[in-house]
Amino acid sequence: MSCSRGALIVLEGVDRAGKTTQCQKLVHALQQSGRAAEIMRFPDRTTKIGQLISSYLEKKSNLEDHTVHLLFSANRWEMVPLMKQKLEQGISLVVDRYAFSGVAFTSAKPGFTLEWCMNPDIGLPKPDLVMFLQLNPNTAANRGEYGIERYETSAFQRTVHQRFEELMQDSSVNWKVVDAARTIEEVHKDIKLLSEDIISLAQNQPVGELWR
């Protein structure tokens, strides 16, 4: 029996790097070429945990910093059975933010180490590919004003960017840096090629465990 599975593909990057735009375009392109693919995003604001997170991000409620970090992680873990099921069915998942955002954002707050932040996400399904959409803060600024949600300030985003750079030193994760300062179509072309390659490579390999 064939054990061909879908690939777990993650897009990361700072605010307005184009993650959502590119996730949508990638899923569409994969589907057009006859590959089963679905989009996912974290936080998934539709679950009970996701609603707590959403209210926090919208500044409608306050949560202690460790607590909200663990909720973000729990919001990923609650989706793991579904993610595994889809991957086993041969569906590739294109994910808008994952544990790397979790670590980069919390560790940008005072008093948090990368190590502490990574712990709750150890053992999550390991992405076959993580594409980091690289964009400098000035170019991001030209894409519009920051919103009103928590974390949407340029000083905080600069620290988040530094944390991502530290996370990308970890060679146990298949990071690819994509220059996100180009046109939407140019960025898409690179992302699609990288994704098609990984879908072929991953299909006969078991899903790994993140940071383990």
Residues binding ligand 2DT (CB under 6 A): 42-43, 57, 72, 97, 101-102, 105, 151
**In this structure, which long-range contacts are made by residues 46-52, counting pairs with CB atoms below 8 Å and at least 24 apart in sequence?**
47/75, 47/78, 49/74, 49/75, 49/78, 50/75
Contact flag: residue 184 with ligand ADP (CB under 6 A)? yes
Contact flag: residue 147 with ligand ADP (CB under 6 A)? no
Of 114 and 141, CB closest to ligand ADP: 141
Contact flag: residue 138 with ligand ADP (CB under 6 A)? no
- Minimum Å gap between C-beta 126 and ligand ADP is 22
Dihedral angle over CA of 125, 74, 66, 207, nearest 10 = 0
Contact flag: residue 12 with ligand ADP (CB under 6 A)? no
Q: Which x/- pattern, by CB under 6 A, does the window 92-121 give for ligand ADP?
A: ------------------------------
Please identify which residue in 8, 9, 17, 95 interacts with ligand ADP, judged by CB under 6 A.
Answer: 17
Q: With contact defined as beta carbons under 8 Å apart, do 7 and 37 qualify?
A: no
Rounded distance, CA 210 to CA 208, Å? 6
201 binds, among ligand 2DT, ligand ADP, none (CB under 5 to 8 A by kind): none
Of 115 and 145, CB closest to ligand ADP: 145
Rounded distance, CA 43 to CA 98, Å? 8
Query: Rounded to a whole number, what is the distance in angstroms from the first to the last CA of the chain?
Result: 29
Using CB atoms within 10 Å of the CB of residue 183, give its burial: 0 to 12 exposed, 13 to 18 middle, 19+ buried: exposed
Q: Which two tokens stand for residue 60?
A: 């409608």
- Minimum Å gap between C-beta 118 and ligand 2DT is 11
Count of residues that bind ligand ADP according to CB under 6 A: 13
Please identify which residue in 37, 178, 187, 199 interacts with ligand ADP, judged by CB under 6 A.
Answer: 187
Q: Which two tokens stand for residue 178?
A: 């994509």
Of 8 and 199, CB closest to ligand 2DT: 8
Rounded distance, CA 103 to CA 92, Å? 24
Q: Which two tokens stand for residue 19?
A: 């993650």
Of 57 and 177, CB closest to ligand 2DT: 57
The residues that touch ligand ADP, with contacts defined as CB under 6 A, are: 13, 15-21, 143-144, 183-184, 187
